[in-house]
Every structure is written in C-alpha cells, then in structure tokens.
Structure 1
C-alpha cells in the first residue's frame, strides 16, 4: 500500500469521539491504530533513506534527525532506528505495518528480542519471519514480546549450550542497589537491580510476610493499602523475627526438561513467568524440595469448600502453575501482586475451591467489587469479563503457562 488508508483517515477525521458509545469507540480506535501503523511504516522508510544518505556523507545519523525533526526523545529515536533494522531484515513486518495488521510495538518486540543475538542467531530468527508476522497479527504486544523472547532464548541455547547460564551469571555480576532522596518530596528511594533468581527469593520473603500482615490486619480491623502492606512486609522480611532467612524459590519446569535437558517445548520459569536457565534449574533442584503439581490430579488437597475463607498456600501454588499474571486480558501485573479472588463471593456462598479462585491485581479487583464488572471462569481456566451494562468484554484462556508454538 503506497497511499494512506483513505477510509480510515476519513473516518478518524470526520468522527467526534465524544459522541461514540463503547462499541463505536472500539472501531474508532482500530482506525486510529491503522493510521498510526501506516505512519510508523513511512517513518521506517524515511529512516532507511536517512541511513543510506548518512553512509554517503550527505546527511546526519538517523537518530539525530528523528530527535530533531521527528520530535522524538533520544530513546524513541533509538527504538525507531532498531525498528528499521527489523523491517529491512524481515520485510514482511514492514508490509504488515503498512497495512495496519501489526503495530510498531510488535516490531519493537522483535528488535528487543534479537538485539543481543549473534549474526547467525539473528539469521535463524529471521527465518521464522512468516510465522512471526502471522502471530503478531493475532496476539497483543505483551504476549507477542514474550514469545519473541522465548524464541530468541531457544535459538541462543541451540547455538550455545551455556548461553542462558552465562547470561544469568552476567546479571548476577551486574546486580546493584542504589539509594537516594527525592529533594522535592523528601521520599527515600531504593532501587534494586538483580538477576531473576535473586528477585524471586526477595519477593518470596515479601509475599510470606505480606500474608502474615494481612491476617493480622483482618483481626484488628485495619485495612491498609496494598502498597503500604507491601512496604511493611518488606520491612518485616529484612528486620523481623525471621529477617535474614531466604524466601522460597518457586520454579515451574516440565519433567522432560528437569531430567533430560532443554527440548523444543521446554518450560523453565519462575512463578511470575521469568525464564530461568535450564542448567541453573537443574542445579537448584539438587538441593530443593520438589513438589510435583499435576493439574486435576490427586495428592495435595486443593479444594476446601466452605471450610476455609482464604486460599491456602497449596492452592496459590496450583494457580501459579497455570497463571503468571492477573486474569484480565490486558493486564501484565504478575501474580506476586495479585489477590486470589473468589469468583463467587465467599459471603454469598462461594467456595474456596481451585475452580472458584482467580488471581486479579488490585485495580481489577476493585473493578469487579466496586465497578460492577463480572468475572467468571470455567474449570479449564477460560475466563469471561462482562461489563456493567451486560455486554461481554472478553473471553479466552488465561492459562499462560502453555508453551508458545514459537518456541518449537
């Protein structure tokens, strides 16, 4: 397509969004997205031309031009140049961007996943371009980005058996803690940058203490915000009676990977969905308590009916084996920061059974309780979100532990 999507442009130009209902707004936003994608595709072509002119000494670097004349930040300009690299290597993405089938975010996901790959690894990644473009057209940016990272990790492991381990060791060496005071607000800030294994141990300790504090608050009738509760839990974790003890590390791994190593459908990630090198996982397993979780199987008692008000630790572990994030389709909040929500309120006869429990973040928890939205879920984790006006907003599986087809 060499000309603008005229129909989309005319609809956006001639429509007043202030007069639209929900369904009409959805259509309107799709038209806006088509126009934005078309403009991003034109910017790709302009960046490519700028790069060619710069190589001949007839223009400045594309990033300078994008920042100066494209009115972009240095970070946005750098992203745009990487976007051009992807489209030049995989022209199908440029065509899909021009046609509004994918967004710049999808192209950026490819750029981010491949920027640290070797030339040979990037070539192998590009060999999957047709499948990637098709997946990008069906998936949101967050899900597609995760699949791209998994594909890149699998390719890197194929070329270098120690690549994941080396990456983790590099992250360990680069871990830092920075403290400073915001002079305007007086708030003290602490930034911790660490590898995924250390992060999971930190947050396991915070989760443990947060659960204790929540029970204590219920008993004394107080109701602090989730953020305040998390801060207090962090303080308890480092300075309370159990301070200094290391939290549990929960990693989900399939049996074949644990016993035989990486394969085409390997699953090896923390409970919040962060990938863990297979060799690290197997080393940790040597000294770990391994709890097999067979969904719909027998073993640990997962259903408690009306006997218990809150989800048990075993139930949360089982839910984490299926979901890494909030149950809302547009939410990427990890299960760490989610409440375990009764699909049918407990005070209205709901049961504390696995099929009646779902993780939701704080904002979406309020959306259900105070906002009038309805969340239902089948035993096989197909969720349905319904708006207060009774219209279905979304339905689909929330079992995001399934191995992506891109990783095969």
Structure 2
C-alpha cells in the first residue's frame, strides 16, 4: 500500500507527464477524477476504522471530524462530507460497492449519504435504489439527486419540515472580517426568508448595464450593496480623520477611519463631498484643543432640483435611480469646484468612488437640456476628459 501511494504521488507531481493535446488532457482529467473517487472510497473505509477506535483521542482532538480536517489540512465542510460518507456507507451497501468499483462518483455517493443520514435503516433501504437509479440517469445531476433526497425526507416525515426549517434558521450567522490587504470579507449563512429579502434588495441594481459592462455578477452585487447602503450619502455615519492638506488636494497622505485603518486620499476627498466637516486642532501631543464646523454638501433644494433633472446616475450606461445616487461635484471642489447647481450631478456610490480615483479618465459631456453625462474611459487607449473643454 505504501509503495502504491508513493507511485501515485510521483505521477501527480511529474509535470513532464502533462499532455499538450486538448483531447488527451480532457481524457486524463476524467481518468484522474475516477482515481480520486477510488481514493475517497479507500479513505472512507479507513475512516470507519479510525472512528470506531476513537483514533482522534490519540492526537488530543475533540472529534474524528476535527482530527480529519487538521490532519488533511482541509476545510471543515470537506472533512464533514467525508465523515458523513464513511458513517453512512455501512447502511448503503450498493453505494459502497459501486464507489469502490469506480462505477459511482464520489459526488453522487456523498449526496446520497447526506440525503439518508436522517432516515432509519428501513427507510434508507427504500431510498437507496431510488437515488441510485436517478444517479444513473444521464440527464440527471448531483443537484437533482440532492433534491430527490429532500423530497423523500419530506414524504416520509412531512411533520418534521417546520422543525428542520427552524433548526436551519438557528444556524444563521454573518461574519465581517478584515483581510491583510485592508479589504473586508463577508461570510455567513442566511435563512431562506432573509436570503430572498437580500436578493430582492440587491438584484435590481446588479443587472449588467450593457455589453461594455465587464463586471462579473459577484462584483455587480457588491456594487449594488454599496448603492443601497450609501442611499445617496444621506445615511452613512462614520468618522474619518484627514488633514487639511489632503482634503484640499495639496497632499496625498492617507486619511484614517475610526479603527485606525488608512484609506486613500482620493476616497477621503470623495467622502467629504457629502459629509459634515469638523476642523479639529491638536497640540504637539495630539490632544484636541479646539474644533469648528463647515458644510460642503448640496442643500435640500439643490437635491430636489437634481432629482427633477436626472432620472438616473449620470454615468453613461448606469441605470441606478438618481434618488439612490450621491450628489457629486462635476468639477471636484478641491481646489476650486463650486457647490452650485450647474456643478452638481448624481453619481451612484461605485461610480463616484471610481471617478474620484481616476479623474483623468472621466469625460464630461454637456447635454442640450443643461444636464451632463459622464463617460468613463476604463482603458488607457481611450481619450480622457479635459476640464478646459467645459469651461
């Protein structure tokens, strides 16, 4: 067995064996996948022995699943998937035999094992041939087998549906974590109702704006969230510390959020367009000794006038409603932009951020009705805008 494993490792790391022919490469992909499925069958059989002997205690782990995730350096979800298969295979003799022979994939085997884990032995004996027959159907997919398994559970235990739904809701969670590069990672699990609410809230704003929109759906959903949370810059409450030199464009020193995280100077200036500004004086030790206040944002009357003139974000091709957009200074107020109606236009939060970071790639086009449209040149080969043409 040890010699076989070493040989398999040698084949896997030998890059000289990788074919250059497309069809040969695809055939070997299928063959390697089948080999991996056979390895998973062997792993499941040994995992049964390890769990029966409480092997995890030898390594000070709380469970065999925790040990498996650590020992194989895999995600907990992957370890749990393997563990479920190992536990259910003794009750699924046909699945176990076909997986070991290579006539059933690991994906189908784990899906069937997951589907029957809540059934007793008699019910599992009835469900196994049904799910295997569906897996053998050429038109079916792993998702079809999973749905069939769920339908079997609902048929056998119709009264348990609400209890299972309530238990699933208890697993709901949401985590927002900082990454090393200053971004934020959002992960979680939402119940069906909240999932639908969030999707309904974001999807209308996440549609592609045309053939020139190269953003993927995930990026468009993130931009839609920015639009919703921004609400035109009227509902955001946060504190940003920025120097006067950065605010006026004399310096590109970063600003800092409440938690001390630095943000680019361009972002700080963009946020200041619609923010309430406080002038803070500090002594040499950094202690606040005085502050003042000034406003650099559109008045309510100006906002109403802008919404009457614009139906959507003024970026060419963007369909975000104007009332959800931020009020942008067409010519940046630093150093000489005016907060006058003819220098204000609606830009959705993602576009406003992009404009503040790439002012040299924005072309402002005056329209006959006194409004403007902005054309973003995202590629350097296209011509940039020049403020002098408007003036």
- Give the number of the structure with larger relative contact order, counting CA–CA contacts within 8 Å between residues 6 or more apart: 1
**TM-score, length-normalised on structure 1?**
0.44
**TM-score, length-normalised on structure 2?**
0.45
Query: If you compute each CA radius of gyration, which structure gives the higher value, 1 or 2?
Result: 2
